[in-house]
Structure 1
Amino acid sequence: MRQMLDTMDRIFEDAMSFPGSGRTSVGEIRAPWDIMEDENEVKMRFDMPGLSKEEVKVSVEDDLLVIKGEHREEEGSKEEDSWWRGRSMSSYATRMLLPDNCDKDKVKAELKNGVLLVTIPKTKVERKVIDVEVQ
């Protein structure tokens, strides 16, 4: 039993340390979401581990991007797992205000390996500039 506890401690320490750090420390941890923007599009990444594409819904409601996901798992079929599993549920829900210059009709979403990637193209906004004479 003591050997198993020592192994668990080592695994935990290894997971918390980073290569080259030389010591156990908590460094930067990647956020479960990210947003990147350039002149052509807005890209968003959301970590949604354990969810399939059938369990995720992405929609645009007026100026809001709405993302919902829910996964329910009933008791495990294996007797030895039933004490551990029981019931589990993971859910995800977020709403984000979209910028005015987004083409809301061309939003694309893809779920791959537990990561939801949402791409929103930008529209070309022509701004009319009028010089006002200062008197």
Structure 2
Amino acid sequence: MRTQENMPVARGSNGGHASPIGMLQTRIDRMFDDFTRGFGMMDAAWDNAGSLGLWSDSGVLMPSLDMHETDKEMVLTIELPGVDEKDIEVAAKDQTIIVSGEKRSEFESRQGDGYRSERAYGHFARSVNLPFAVDASKVKARCDRGVLTLTIPKPAEAMQQVRKIPITH
């Protein structure tokens, strides 16, 4: 019959880990904590703005989107949760559709006698290159419950049938 006895983990005299690797881990943890101290104040703004999608390298929010194509049109569906329709701008230039605007959100919290109010503002922009020139006067834009749908008709030359090319051996 085997018995097992649990032993406590050995600690060094400084209260930290006894091994050099453990001490290194403790130092790295402290450095990371020092580096990130103060970011907590931005959590609500970051989370609210981040609900739009991805951050670009320049720090501008890029909303998530889906794109599908039919025989006659391209349809873009862009998620803009919490963005008021009046804060959205849609533009077309050559073969590019550009969606931009501002997300404004407010957060209010009351706990006992305490009161906290946070406002997050964030600029967003997303551009999509299409395989044809866009006629801005024919683009339809509809916003419903935080989802912007753009219907972009294809010009006649873009609607031509795709022809299969046989592959020879």
Task: Give the structure-1-normalised TM-score.
Answer: 0.59
Identity of aligned residues (%): 28
Question: What one-letter code is carried by the residue in structure 1 that aligns with 2:138?
Answer: K
Q: Which residue in the other structure is 1:124 paired with?
A: 156
Distance change (3 Å), C-alpha of 1:91 and 1:34: same
Q: Which residue in the other structure is 1:49 paired with?
A: 81
* Partner secondary structure for residue 50 of structure 1: coil
Q: Which residue in the other structure is 1:107 paired with?
A: 139
Instruction: Give me the whole-angstrom Cα distance separating, in 2, the residues matched to 1:35 and 1:70.
Output: 22
Q: Give the CA deviation at 1:125.
A: 1.2
Q: Is the 8 A contact 2:79 2:148 kept in 1?
A: yes
Q: Is the 8 A contact 2:95 2:133 kept in 1?
A: no
Task: Give the structure-2-normalised TM-score.
Answer: 0.48
Match of 2:118 among 63, 82, 86: 86
* Residue 92 of structure 2 is aligned to residue 63 of structure 1: no
- Post-superposition CA distance 1:71-108 (Å, at most 9, x none): 234674x755952x412124320111122265443111
Which structure has more relative contact order (CA 8 Å, sep 6+)? It is 1
Q: Which residue in the other structure is 2:66 paired with?
A: 34
Indicate the structure (1 or 2) with the bigger Cα radius of gyration: 2
Can you give the 5+ residue segments of structure 1 that lack an aligned partner in the other structure?
A: 1-30, 128-135
Instruction: Give me the whole-angstrom Cα distance separating, in 2, the residues matched to 1:32 and 1:71.
Output: 14
Instruction: Give me the whole-angstrom Cα distance separating, in 1, the residues matched to 2:141 and 2:78.
Output: 11
Instruction: Give me the whole-angstrom Cα distance separating, in 2, the residues matched to 1:102 and 1:48.
Output: 22
Distance change (3 Å), C-alpha of 1:74 and 1:32: closer
Q: Give the CA deviation at 1:69.
A: 1.9
* Partner secondary structure for residue 105 of structure 1: helix
* Partner secondary structure for residue 132 of structure 2: coil
Distance change (3 Å), C-alpha of 1:39 and 1:71: same
Can you give the 5+ residue segments of structure 2 that lack an aligned partner in the other structure?
A: 1-62, 161-169
Distance change (3 Å), C-alpha of 1:115 and 1:75: closer
Match of 2:130 among 73, 93, 98: 98
Count of residues paired in the alignment? 95
